[in-house]
Amino acid sequence: MIKLAVILPAAGTGSRMRSETPKPFLRLKGATILEHTIRNFLRVEGLVQIVIATSNKWKSQAQGIAARYKSENLDVDVVEGGSERQFSIHHALQSLNDDVNMVAVHDAVRPFITTSLVELCCTEARDHGGAIVAVPAKDTIKRVDTKGFIQETPKRSTIWQAQTPQIFQRPLLEKAYKKAIAEDYFGTDDASLVERIGGKVRVIAGDRRNLKITFPIDLRVAEMILEEGTFDVPQ
């Protein structure tokens, strides 16, 4: 039986947003981005724990939010994040409940993830080791050297843009993190850590609305998605 924990890294500083308030705590139509994100997980089958990693400064805000979503069947915990996303997740992994057997990592700043996509990703991860949500690259991607010259143009049809959630069998993700931290390896997503220890990771075609709110323009797009009313926001 799936017992899923979701780690929500929310300890970024928001420098690219040019905002004093970190992105997960910015408000979007009456609720913080973090709350929008949490709501989309509440109905996921097998969900038993949510762990929010946040900076010390925003800990009490995160705890206030956590208290609102805690229930008899769901633990919502707050841990201190680190200076890199990878450290934030590593900390969160230390506070998983004993009964958790699957772990999802989902950027706190991706508020448009659907319950059905999380569930599909989770069953694929259970069956294969790991699974991530991604979309086919719409731009041609170039590998560029430090002097600004193109080194390689990978065939676009083979290139996908990784999003989150990225879901793994718990022992596999724990092993991958342990090894990466021990060897000072930094990846920009969780799957890359699992790949380097030989783990199999399935790619699930996702939804372009599952954007990562990073720049001010993304906030405008997020408002438009909510105004349009096509994204079913669970209350």
By C-beta, is 11 or 117 nearer to ligand C5P? 11
Window of 8-16, 125-133, 139-147, 172-180 that interacts with ligand C5P by CB under 6 A = 8-16
Q: Does 107 bind ligand C5P (CB under 6 A)?
A: yes
By C-beta, is 57 or 156 nearer to ligand C5P? 57
- State how far the Cα of 172 lies from the Cα of 191, in Å rounded to an integer: 10
In the complex, minimum distance from the CB of residue 5 to ligand C5P, in angstroms, rounded to a whole number: 16
By C-beta, is 11 or 131 nearer to ligand C5P? 11
- State how far the Cα of 193 lies from the Cα of 191, in Å rounded to an integer: 5
Enumerate residues 189-218 that contact ligand C5P by CB under 6 A. 212, 214
**Angle, vertex CA 48, rays to CA 42 and CA 50, nearest 5:** 65
The b/e string for 18-50 (b: 16+ C-beta within 10 A; e otherwise) is eeeebbbbbebeebbbbbbbbbbbeebebbbbb
In the complex, minimum distance from the CB of residue 37 to ligand C5P, in angstroms, rounded to a whole number: 9
Q: Does 111 bind ligand C5P (CB under 6 A)?
A: no
Enumerate residues 44-103 that contact ligand C5P by CB under 6 A. 53, 81-85, 88
By C-beta, is 49 or 166 nearer to ligand C5P? 166
In the complex, minimum distance from the CB of residue 100 to ligand C5P, in angstroms, rounded to a whole number: 19
Beta bridge partners of 53: 9, 79
By C-beta, is 75 or 107 nearer to ligand C5P? 107
For residue 187, what are the CA distances in angstroms to 28, 164, 179, 194, 207?
Answer: 29, 14, 12, 10, 23
By C-beta, is 24 or 129 nearer to ligand C5P? 24
For 197, half-sphere exposure in the C-beta direction (CA atoms, 13 angstrom radius) is 22
Q: Strand 27-28 vs strand 31-32: parallel, antiparallel, or unpaired?
A: antiparallel
Closest CA to 133 of 40, 23, 24: 40
Enumerate residues 14-33 that contact ligand C5P by CB under 6 A. 24
Which residues contact ligand C5P by CB under 6 A? 9-12, 24, 53, 81-85, 88, 107-109, 212, 214
